[in-house]
Chain A
Amino acid sequence: MIEIFELNIIKRAFLVICLSAPIVPLFGIFLLLRRYAFFADTLAHVGLLAMALSLLLNINSLVALIILSILISVSVEKLRSYGKLPAEGSLSFFLYAGVALSVLLLSLSSKTSSVMGILFGSLSTVTVDDLYLIAAGTVFCAFFLIKYYRQMLNLCIDEELAHASGINIPALKLIFAVAVALSISVSIKTMGALLIGSLMIIPPLSAMYVTKSLKATAVLSVIYALIAGFFGILFSFYTNVPLGAAISAILIGIFVISFSVGLISKSK
């Protein structure tokens, strides 16, 4: 058991989980409260496109991912604020465009063996260079959460109330979109494009069933994400299940337990 912690890929996977698990579910809380959970899925599918692009063009996948997801998240937010398209319409457009173009690019590439890793995450995809980028992205996301937590909370409560509190709504939405894009970028390699949303959404969703305050929801979300991350790595290592699927399976278990506990405590 102890010897697996001496393997570099396991060390890197734990490091990525330690960096991303305290950040990603906190963004999930804001997305859930803004009824915008679909945004995570859209950005994840754009991530798939970035991975496909990097395979075809032989460029750093994380750099492609960060640039593309920031571009798309800003575009989605702009389209939403112009009010020309329904919010879900613009999200759906980018989601399907991301999948369609990814499939197209992957079929042109000869390196299709890594598709499983891209879709469902892998222990071995994170390089040392990626770690630096992930650490930088995490620092930005943490800074955003510390600086804008109260403003984001106001935005989630009601946009007009937030405006009356003196918050610059369009600017805040834009910075939030960029921060969400970065938070997805920092964990997509371990979780996979199709399953990153589960690390973002399931921990806060589970926590909401058993907590009695927003602060407790945030703390429990992070704990859930860390538990799922650590045990997911071990699960994946010993069973060869893709890492994203292993973490998601544990998160599903956590959700079922939280839901049951919430149901029992409500009925008392």
Chain B
Amino acid sequence: MEYEKLTIIPSRKGGLIDISSVSYRLGEISVLEDINLEIKEGCYLGIVGPNGAGKTTLLRLILGVIKPTSGEISICGEPPETYLKKEPIGYLPQRISQSIFEMPITVEELVLSGMRKVRRDNLEWALELFKISSLRKRLFRELSGGQKQKAILARAIAMKPKILLLDEPTTGIDPNARDDLLDILEILNRDFGISILVVTHDIATFAHESKCILCLNKKMVCLGEPQKILKDEYMKILYPERAVIHHRL
């Protein structure tokens, strides 16, 4: 299937992230090939695909942690590193460094660390949104898995960024914590206009939540509204060993 440069709905506003003919190689190994994507403000995009499909790499490219081997990425018309000098990007990595689990940092200190200037009103907003105000003086390392996830996400959104990148946010948390998280992501997207890109293996959940799904397997396999995309014909391309993916629609 050949793809032109694809635009992700909704398209009422200007382009936010522009990915043009981006490829990424690690030595001889091709990780991503010829990705063309224009992501508009206010999108809620789920990125799915098998292990090694390049999903996390795509997020790291957008973030500017790594540079494309060829092609260009721009955020609001600027390279990621230039954009980041002006505005932070909310980010939840797949794995966070071990240091945070050893340091004597409180939830409040963690959330404040994500701000360039201390803004108490933003701190209160982020803590209340994730319902962790009562945990503010607790040590981060003493929290449960779900509470830790909320604290890191509260840090990511404390500066009310335009873009939120999440790498497998529902991994390792129970169904209640997952539902809480999904509700908050919906509020952030709907009420605050934060554009959300989620890398996930939890296709069933995010097919229901996101506005658009990108299926990735080194190349772009398909892109569009969840109802149109998550059909067996596409899933067979993505996951040839497992033909049927059941999901809530």
Contact = CB atoms under 8 A, between A and B. Distances in A.
Contacts of B91: 160-161, 164
A224 to B, nearest CB: 15
Contact of B103 (A159, A163, A166, A214): A214
B64 A163 contact: yes
A154 B99 CA distance: 11
A163 B84 contact: yes
A35 B97 CA distance: 11
A164 B89 CA distance: 5
B102 interface: yes
Nearest to B161: A164
A110 interface: no
B104 A213 contact: yes
Contacts, number: 81
A129 interface: no
A35 B100 CA distance: 11
A157 B110 contact: yes
Interface in A120-166: 150, 153-154, 156-161, 163-166
Nearest to B113: A153
Interface string B51-92: 000000000100111000000000000000000111111110
Nearest to A161: B91
Interface of A is mostly: helix
Contacts of A163: 63-65, 84
**What band does the interface of chain A fall in when counting residues whose beta carbon is under 8 Å from B?**
20 to 34
Contacts of B88: 164-166
A156 B99 contact: yes
A261 to B, nearest CB: 14
Given A164-B90, A164-B91, A165-B114, A211 B85 contact: no
B103 A156 contact: yes
Nearest to A34: B99
B106 A159 contact: no
Contacts of B137: 212-213
Given A153-B113, A213-B106, 10 more contacts: A33-B102, A157-B96, A157-B103, A157-B105, A158-B97, A159-B97, A166-B88, A212-B139, A213-B139, A215-B109
Interface of A: 33-35, 150, 153-154, 156-161, 163-166, 208, 211-217
22 contacts: A33-B99, A153-B109, A153-B113, A154-B113, A156-B99, A157-B96, A157-B97, A157-B99, A157-B103, A159-B97, A161-B96, A161-B114, A163-B63, A163-B84, A164-B90, A166-B84, A166-B86, A166-B116, A213-B104, A214-B109, A215-B109, A216-B104
